[in-house]
Structure 1
């Protein structure tokens, strides 16, 4: 049902740091492993609409509709800049949350979901990515693509959780350094801002 080539390619794609990884790591570092798991769940859930669109062929419409694509792209860029501004504004006031989920699971999951669902390039990526691993002559290509999608999402969730757990593991080294916490906040804020600008400026 799947090949080593698919697993290897998927692993590389998931491991490359992007907005989802940055978001998960920042939650693991500042709010603990529970928050990082919530972030990983949200980011993984945000992939589902793109995979569904690819399977149904809707991403082809997105690819050919410049207005729709640009609208979603700019919405995603604005949201990333919003996250960057909030994190930068809180610089110096944020402390490492020992309880891990002071605000609950849902807000963290929702932000992770929005981060990924507002990136239209994911739909186009999966439109080109999934068909590569569906062998010619497959009796049910749709079933095969669904299976590959589930595998990809499972791998994404596992890798993101591991990223978050690693970030949580180094929390103790920065817990007593407000200056370092502030620098990390500014770094994450700047990263989100750069990714938002990059998303807005890239062509389809």
Structure 2
């Protein structure tokens, strides 16, 4: 079980990533704006279900690496930290445009849920993110590594469900705010890039 300090740091980083409107948040907003709150919540639940599957796959894969050797797991952590640094540099280098909600057609809650699950599960960037992100907060000396990965993944999924539900419930206000502050998209890459870059550097150097 991760210690409270690690969980608090992890939750703060996850919350920081959530607060920057990304594709998942914009999808929930678009669905909620067209189909209403229930469709928006169903979309958020679908995204969370997809993330839960990514968590399960990451736990299985990383646990298999750990069984090989502790050195292999350390290499995975450092490779993940390097990947986060690369993501951060790319995000900082990109020229962000104005945020806008993409077109969304009217669908029922079941279809919205299924489409969100498929979109999240079939996104290779999400899979790589989980493989790189979760190990950074694992401490082998604090108990079972697979159990720690499960806890971290469930915290991420739980926070995702709560956050996307709040976004769906306040879709009108959030969409209106984004419409008045479209230029936030120009800062999106810089903020996310800074989070990735800082996290990657900090965690890459933490145990050296």
Residues 101-144 of structure 1, C-alpha deviations (whole Å, 9 max, x = no match): x7532101011111211211111111111111112313211011
Relative to the length of structure 2, the TM-score reads 0.58
CA contact (8 A) 1:32 1:168 kept: no
CA–CA distance in structure 1, aligned partners of residues 111 and 34 of structure 2: 15
CA–CA distance in structure 2, aligned partners of residues 123 and 166 of structure 1: 29
Q: Which residue of 1 aligns with 2:162?
A: 158
CA contact (8 A) 1:51 1:126 kept: yes
Q: Which residue of 2 aligns with 1:129?
A: 133
* Cα gap change, 1:170 to 1:145, in 2 (>3 Å): closer
Matched, 1:140 2:144: yes
* Cα gap change, 1:16 to 1:115, in 2 (>3 Å): farther
Gaps of 5+ in 1: 62-86, 95-101, 174-183, 188-204
Relative to the length of structure 1, the TM-score reads 0.59
The 5 Å alignment of 1:91-130 reads 103-130=107-134
Gaps of 5+ in 2: 66-101, 183-208
Q: Which runs of 4+ in 1 moved over 4 A?
A: none
Other structure's SS at 1:137 match = helix
RMSD: 3.1
Q: Which residue of 2 aligns with 1:56?
A: 60
* Cα gap change, 1:140 to 1:170, in 2 (>3 Å): closer
CA–CA distance in structure 2, aligned partners of residues 41 and 15 of structure 1: 17
Count, aligned residues: 140
Matched, 1:40 2:44: yes
CA contact (8 A) 2:39 2:107 kept: no
